Structure 1
């Protein structure tokens, strides 16, 4: 039987080949072709939201598929951009929103925002990566968590960034062997405990990050030996479940550099 770590390393060790294989899947190729053929004609935030297919593609590409329904929320992210310290995206602990606003930076570039690679090829690359992780998770949720954590780890600057993202938090709690009750603690106490236990700067070191994920996959294997783990519990679904209003209101509004 293939272990979680072996499956994860098989994909991660040759990521270009893994992504190419996913990009060539008919459904992925079809949606990507549509996105790339249409996105350059989008000249404003209103144009973007008017095309639901483009919007859904970009949301999935940035790992925000579970928030596709929240158009007013996402419109605020785009209309305020990222240039101001007080911009909405800069007030959110979850870095995915800032990444989304940087990809489609209408505030800074206006009608030219979609002419750059960051809005075209880079979004398509993110879509392929997101699909790759989802596909891996269909067989083993631990593999999806490891791939996701590997991608997001360099963006983690404090404990709030971990607990604001349930997938990241699941990996860290598994490695630290925290009980389920830990997630119900006051967020400030969670932040302090994580920062005391983990040197977050290590996540920017590929070698140290690799060791961390090796430990995660081993512990995941032990903790989930009987199977049955539901990835929707941390990654959400098309219907919008998997992300709580409490998380958005009490954690995502914390500044990345604050407190």
Structure 2
């Protein structure tokens, strides 16, 4: 189900504040309901990595749940991920910069020892799948909403600026929020990390209230940059600004942007 309220700011805030309802609507979608029922009924019967990756429905459902659907074709690669010893820092999954692979190995890596997937992992995977489906649907009409929902879901797992830079979606949100130029991507990775940590305290991303503030500002700025042919309000910002916007300023921007009194 796709909801579009006409702006990134409005649509994101609606979906975020009504997350339980939004996920219930995703679960009720006939295609999602069938896929989820099959996963719940059959994943517990799988006790080997080969059986898992060769079951198209189960494997693709799990890959989608962890945002890895684009890698579902790479079965040999994913087998190496699942066979990794996560207690060994030099193992294949641990050496990958994208934390989604480690999360996938954590969830399903027990299959390498013949251990069936437990009920907690099944529940987590289903919830992830529905969340991912909601984000993907939102992104079809407004990529900014998808970015904001993704950031909200993953912010608590960010431990350093390098975690942000390893993820294109997280980087896009932070870059927009902080007003960092596209050219920053050409800089040395350490210089990019420094540019981020000089402007935000990474530890603050563990605070849901701070994340909400970040995404409030991100969605307004995303609207200004992407959802209008002319952006006169951009002159209100100094290029050296940290991206801070007061609630009053946000209200003023939205009024200017969308024709309020």
Q: Same fold (TM over 0.5)?
A: yes
Write the distance in 2 (CA, Å) between the matches of 1:11 and 1:78: 33
5+ long unaligned stretches in structure 1: 228-259
Q: CA offset at residue 67 of structure 1? A: 1.8
Does structure 1 residue 55 correspond to structure 2 residue 59? yes
Matched, 1:124 2:126: yes
- SS of residue paired to 1:82: coil
**Do the aligned partners of 1:105 and 1:113 also contact (CA within 8 Å) in 2?**
no
Matches of residues 171-210 of structure 1 in structure 2 within 5 Å? Answer: 171-210=173-212
1:93 to 97, 110, 131: 97
> Given the alignment, which residue of 11, 16, 25 partners 2:20?
16
Return the TM-score normalized by structure 1.
0.82
| Separation (CA, whole Å) in 2 of partners of 1:81 and 1:16 | 35
Query: What is the aligned partner in structure 1 of residue 75 from structure 2?
Result: 71
Kindly indicate whether structure 1 or structure 2 has the higher relative contact order, using CA contacts under 8 Å at least 6 residues apart.
Answer: 1
Q: Are the counterparts in 2 of residues 77 and 101 from structure 1 also a CA contact under 8 Å?
A: yes
Partner of 1:32: 36
Which residue number corresponds to residue 116 of structure 2? Answer: 113
Q: For this pair of structures, how many residues does the alignment match?
A: 225
1:60 shift after superposition: 0.6
Contact 1:48 1:55 in 2 (8 A): yes
1:124 counterpart SS class: helix
Please say if residues 40 and 114 of structure 1, whose CA atoms lie closer than 8 Å, have aligned partners that are also in contact: yes
Distance 1:189 1:4, change over 3 A: same
Superposed CA deviations along residues 120-164 of structure 1, whole A, max 9, x for unmatched, are 121111100000001111121111100000001111111221111
Task: Decide which structure has the larger Cα Rg and report it.
Answer: 2
Q: Which residue of structure 2 aligns with residue 247 of structure 1?
A: none
Aligned 8 A contact 1:61 1:126 in 2: yes
Normalising by the residue count of structure 2, what TM-score does the alignment of the two structures yield? 0.81
Please state whether the residue corresponding to 2:97 is helix, strand or coil: coil
- Residues 206 and 187 (structure 1), Cα distance of their counterparts in 2 relative to 1, 3 Å cut: same
- Residue 158 (structure 1) aligns with: 160
SS at match of 2:222: helix
Query: What SS does the aligned partner of 1:197 have?
Result: coil
1:167 is matched with 169
State the distance in 2 between where 1:104 and 1:177 align: 39
User: Contact (CA 8 Å) 1:81, 1:102: kept in 2 or not?
Assistant: no
RMSD of equivalent CA atoms: 1.7
Counterpart among 6, 10, 19 of residue 6 in structure 1: 10
Shift of 1:53: 1.9
